[in-house]
């Protein structure tokens, strides 16, 4: 399977055109957005319309520029757009886990609840973890020479060993790739990355 993933588009028209054109190519099976598709909600509907028109499944989680409630209010208008915040979807033998919003907390009690549940259900499966904010202790969570990512995300990654982690939020570390104990972590940015599993 091959998919296009991106984050932090913030209603940028130029990159939206480029992402839509790439997503239309025959080799792309589906699209994943790790949040901040809008600019505090501005542009949300037009951006979603462009991706919905492609006719491929578009999975997204909210970032810190949109809320879960904001997405849920509008998604009935689209047949190909799926919000999987605090949820999952399966394609072939992969389980995609989504957890969005926030981005600034170094600990997250709500995430810990989902992490326990997900570990019980999906441990040992091929997992792709999609987050908005970055896990703590990588090249992706550095701001002003300090690690500011989420420690609960890092603990979960070490425990469940996903095949891939997709995240973003910090514009300063866009297009960075790193790892935690052999688990690949990517920040695909607003230009996006094509992933083949």
What crossing angle do the helices spanning 109-122 and 151-160 adopt, rounded to 10°? 10
How far is Cα 135 from Cα 34, in angstroms, rounded to an integer?
A: 13
The tally of domains found in the chain comes to: 1
pLDDT at 102: 85
pLDDT at 95: 98
pLDDT at 27: 98
How far is Cα 81 from Cα 32, in angstroms, rounded to an integer?
A: 10
**pLDDT tens, position by position, 86-125:** 999 999 999 999 999 987 899 999 999 999 999 999 999 9
How far is Cα 152 from Cα 115, in angstroms, rounded to an integer?
A: 9
The CATH number of whichever domain residue 151 belongs to comes to: 3.60.21.10
DSSP string, 118-163: HHHHHTTSEEEEEESSPBSSSGGGEETTEE-SBHHHHHHHHHH--S
Q: Give me the domain span that covers residue 104.
A: 2-196
Which residues on adjacent β-strands are paired with residue 135?
150
pLDDT at 9: 98
Q: What's the rounded mean pLDDT across residues 134-139?
A: 96
What crossing angle do the helices spanning 13-24 and 44-54 adopt, rounded to 10°? 20
**pLDDT tens, position by position, 13-71:** 999 999 999 999 999 999 999 999 999 999 999 999 999 999 999 999 999 999 999 99
Backbone φ and ψ for 123, nearest 5 degrees, come out as -55, 130
How far is Cα 115 from Cα 187, in angstroms, rounded to an integer?
A: 21
Tokens 């891939």: give the residue.
164
- In this prediction, residue 11 has a pLDDT band, given cuts at 50, 70 and 90, of very high
Q: What's the rounded mean pLDDT across residues 146-163?
A: 97
């Amino acid at each position: 399977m091959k998919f296009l993933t991106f984050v932090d588009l913030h209603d940028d028209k130029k990159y939206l055109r480029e992402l839509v054109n790439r997503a239309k190519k025959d080799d792309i099976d589906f699209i994943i957005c790790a949040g901040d598709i809008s600019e505090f909600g501005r542009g949300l509907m037009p951006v979603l319309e462009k991706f919905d028109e492609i006719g491929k499944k578009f999975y997204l989680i909210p970032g810190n520029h949109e809320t879960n409630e904001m997405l849920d209010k509008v998604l009935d208008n689209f047949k190909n757009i799926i919000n999987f915040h605090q949820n999952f979807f399966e394609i072939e033998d992969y389980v995609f886990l989504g957890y969005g919003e926030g981005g600034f907390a170094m600990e997250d009690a709500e995430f810990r609840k989902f992490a326990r549940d997900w570990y019980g259900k999906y441990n040992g499966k091929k997992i792709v973890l999609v987050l908005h904010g970055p896990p703590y202790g990588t090249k992706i969570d550095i701001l002003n020479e300090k690690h500011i990512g989420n420690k609960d995300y890092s603990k979960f990654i070490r425990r469940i060993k996903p095949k891939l982690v997709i995240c973003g939020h910090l514009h300063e570390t866009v297009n960075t790739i790193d790892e935690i104990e052999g688990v690949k972590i990517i920040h695909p940015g607003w230009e996006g990355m094509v992933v083949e599993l």
